[in-house]
C-alpha cells in the first residue's frame, strides 16, 4: 500500500455537500453579490488611480527600441500616446492582461462605463459604435476567408 493509499484508506473522496435546489441557488447568489462588490471596488480603485498626480519624465530618456536605442520622444513616433503593443479590435481580454493594464494608466480604457475625472479623454457614442465585430451576421474576420475563395461552411470537420 502506498503512502497516499494508507492516508485515504476507508475514506471517500471529498465531495460538496448535497442540498436541495433552493439551498444550492442561495450559495451562487451570495457569491454573485460578493463578486459584484469586488468588481465595484476594483472599479473604484481604478478610478482613484486615474486621479493620481503625474510626474514629468525627461523626453531624452533612452529606451531600447526594435532597432536599438531611441529616446522616449522618438518612441512616440509623433503620436500623443505611446503605443507599446497593438492588437486588432479588443483581443481576448480574459487571456490578455492588456485592458487590465490600461486600468493602471492615467486615462484608463476610456470606456463609456468608466468613472474618470471630468475633462479626461472619453470615447463618444454608444458601445455599438466602438467595436464592430460582426457584419451581416458573420464575424468580420470570416469575410476575408470568403474573399480569398475559401468555403463559408464553418461546420466542424469529422
Per DSSP, the residues of 65-77 read: ETTEEEEHHHHTT
Compute the distance between CA of residue 111 and CA of residue 25 in angstroms, rounded to an integer.
Answer: 33
Determine the average pLDDT of the residues in 93-116.
Answer: 74
- Among the residue ranges 59-68, 102-111, 140-149, the one predicted with the least confidence is 140-149
Say how many Å lie between the first and final Cα of the chain, rounded. Answer: 44
Place of cell 529616446: 71
Is residue 80 assigned to a domain? yes
Q: What pLDDT is attached to residue 25?
A: 94
State the Cα–Cα distance between residues 57 and 138, nearest whole angstrom: 45
Determine the structural domain holding residue 85 and report its residue range.
25-52+73-111
- pLDDT classification of 10: cutoffs 50, 70, 90: low
Residues of the chain with pLDDT > 70, as a percent, come to: 66
> How many structural domains are present in the chain?
1
In-domain check, residue 153: no
Residue 92 covered by a domain: yes
Query: What is the arithmetic mean of pLDDT over 46-57?
Result: 91
Q: What are phi and psi of 32, to 5 degrees?
A: -60, -40
Residue 123 falls within a domain, yes or no? no
Q: Answer whether 109's CB lies under 8 Å from 116's CB.
A: no
55-99: pLDDT as tens digits? 999 999 999 888 899 999 999 999 988 877 665 666 666 666 777
Query: Could you tell me if residue 81 is inside a domain?
Result: yes
User: When comparing pLDDT for 4 and 18, which is higher?
Assistant: 18
Alpha carbon 20 to chain centroid, angstroms: 36
Amino acid at each position: 500500500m502506498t503512502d497516499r493509499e494508507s492516508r485515504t484508506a476507508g475514506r471517500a473522496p471529498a465531495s460538496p455537500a448535497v442540498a436541495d435546489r433552493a439551498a444550492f441557488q442561495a450559495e451562487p447568489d451570495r457569491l454573485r453579490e460578493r463578486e459584484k462588490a469586488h468588481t465595484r471596488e476594483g472599479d473604484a480603485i481604478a478610478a482613484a488611480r486615474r486621479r493620481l498626480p503625474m510626474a514629468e519624465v525627461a523626453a531624452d530618456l533612452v529606451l531600447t527600441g526594435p532597432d536599438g536605442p531611441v529616446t522616449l520622444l522618438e518612441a512616440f513616433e509623433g503620436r500623443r500616446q505611446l503605443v507599446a503593443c497593438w492588437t486588432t479590435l479588443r483581443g481576448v481580454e480574459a487571456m490578455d492582461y492588456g485592458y487590465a493594464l490600461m486600468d493602471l494608466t492615467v486615462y484608463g480604457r476610456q470606456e463609456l462605463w468608466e468613472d474618470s475625472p471630468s475633462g479626461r479623454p472619453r470615447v463618444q457614442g454608444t458601445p455599438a459604435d466602438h467595436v464592430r465585430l460582426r457584419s451581416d451576421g458573420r464575424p468580420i474576420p470570416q469575410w476575408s476567408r470568403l474573399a480569398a475563395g475559401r468555403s463559408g461552411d464553418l461546420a466542424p470537420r469529422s
